[in-house]
Amino acid sequence: MNLPPTDPTPPAGIGTEVTWVSADFVAWEDSITKYMRPAARTIRFREDLPSFGAPVTEGEALARITALEQLKNAASAEQAVLAVALKDLVIARHAALGLDPERRGKDTGSMVALARAESPNKGGRLLGLAAALVTEMPHAHRLMTLGLLGEWKATLLVRETACLSAGDRLKVDEMLCQDPTTLQGVGERKLIALARKMSYALDARAVADRASHAVEDRRVSLRPAPDTMTIFHALLPVRSGVAVYAVLNRQADACKARGDKRSRSQIMADTLVERVTGVTDANAIPVELQLVITDRALFAGDAEPAHLAGYGLIPAAAAREYLRAENQDGTGALAGLRRIYTAPGTGELVALESKRRAFPQGLKQFISIRDQFCRAPYCDAPIQHMDHVEPVARGGATTAENAEGTCARCNYTKEFPGWVVEVVGNERHAVRWTDPSGNSCRSTAPPQPG
């Protein structure tokens, strides 16, 4: 497939025409070119996809794959233009409403997220990426418009040049993206290395300052992995990370020298658990588990999965193992069992209510178990706030039906002008979120075991 023309003029944005030249792709030309103009053409293109039929040659299949990838890249470039324009429109609306200048436009990322079916956190990152590309990296944006640079690689470029001034960032943009052939065959790691090298050459002090402040971002996180495993992730300063790994490595060496039958990786994982928790056996940790399980699975050996708070669904056999009162060896990993019942027919957790404005601890725990994660559409962040769906100021009651668990960001977002959140169904607690443009999405509490 031939490369698009390399006109050095940055793209004009909305209305830009992109044409891919391929002998196997001529039949698609009308559906692909000019697709950025009206939304109806995008819909037409999507509807035309099934009519293309199966490819008859390998070359035809590859040509279509390549062209569709270029189309995705060009669509991402146009989304960036529209995201920047959207923020300007939101700021103007907030200004007309007299909103505090520091709050104007702050909910734009959540609006982008809802439109793109992404989490609010990612929506904010996409909005930041769009602003950097459109205003400070026109050559990278142009390559995206031509279909030659994907959104993720553009994100890497923006991330690695974030510490530079606008002028220096533009220089990196020119060196890497002005000539479309520069990034041909360049993988992600090499792209990061090139961007870092150029950034350091242009402003070594800015790069060093960024590194010195990076220690402030140290953190730990936990996310589910397949087969009732979990990934414990730590972002540490390099010397701390290297030191931790060295200690675990030495312990693995010592254990293997004594004839330990575990693999080195198993020893290192167990040692990490033992050092952090203070126990002498990684399998004997005293815990209180918030586990939702049916009586059939717990007492009758049924195979219905259970839900472990902070993780998700786990096999019934694993849940029963976790809920044993003591280990067989008597070392005693005691576990608490809290009975939580579901309503017949719907499977919805039995509700609780309170006369107080603040949610009592028992109701908070109930909502946390029911909702599991932030209830905003597409957001799977941990629950930080217990929120009244209908505000107390408008007569909302402190009940499970009028409550939802949210992360802090989503709870603050719904307070911006124009956002509407309302309960729209009792079965499994359905809530609809609508942004100021009228774009809405329904959020339903996850199904409980059984």
pLDDT digits (tens, 9 = 90+) for 262-286: 999 999 999 998 888 887 776 665 5
Looking at the predicted structure, is the pLDDT value of residue 414 above 80? yes
Looking at the predicted structure, is the pLDDT value of residue 392 above 50? yes
Q: Residue 424 corresponds to which tokens in the numbers above?
A: 């729209």
Quick one: pLDDT band at residue 311, thresholds 50, 70, 90?
low
Residue 304: half-sphere exposure toward Cβ, Cα within 13 Å: 16
pTM over 0.85: no
Q: Which residue has the higher pLDDT, 341 or 144?
A: 144
What is the Cα–Cα distance from 228 to 240, expressed in whole angstroms? Answer: 29
Q: Which residue has the higher pLDDT, 353 or 56?
A: 56
Q: Residue 75 corresponds to which tokens in the numbers above?
A: 């669509």
Quick one: pLDDT band at residue 339, thresholds 50, 70, 90?
low
* Chain mean pLDDT for the chain: 81
Q: Residue 108 corresponds to which tokens in the numbers above?
A: 């734009």
Residue 218: half-sphere exposure toward Cβ, Cα within 13 Å: 11
Lowest mean pLDDT, pick from 11-15, 36-40, 67-71, 368-372: 11-15
Best CA proximity match to 150, nearest among 225, 77, 234, 101 = 77
At residue 384, the 3 state secondary structure works out as coil
What's the pLDDT score for residue 208?
A: 87
- DSSP letter, residue 57: S
What's the pLDDT score for residue 343?
A: 60
Q: Residue 289 corresponds to which tokens in the numbers above?
A: 């588990």
What is the Cα–Cα distance from 191 to 188, expressed in whole angstroms? Answer: 5
- Helix, strand, coil percent values for the chain (each to nearest 5): 50, 10, 40
Chain centroid to Cα 26, Å, comes to 37
What is the Cα–Cα distance from 108 to 84, expressed in whole angstroms? Answer: 9
Sign, CA dihedral 319-324-327-333, equals positive
What's the pLDDT score for residue 344?
A: 57
What is the Cα–Cα distance from 131 to 145, expressed in whole angstroms? Answer: 15
Q: CA–CA distance from 248 to each of 231, 251, 266 (Å)?
A: 17, 5, 10
What is the Cα–Cα distance from 139 to 307, expressed in whole angstroms? Answer: 48
Q: Residue 144 corresponds to which tokens in the numbers above?
A: 């995206």
Question: How much is the average pLDDT of 326-340?
Answer: 48
Show me where the domains of the chain are located: 23-213, 219-277, 286-339, 353-444
Q: CA–CA distance from 18 to each of 174, 313, 446 (Å)?
A: 21, 46, 43
Lowest mean pLDDT, pick from 29-38, 218-227, 394-403: 29-38
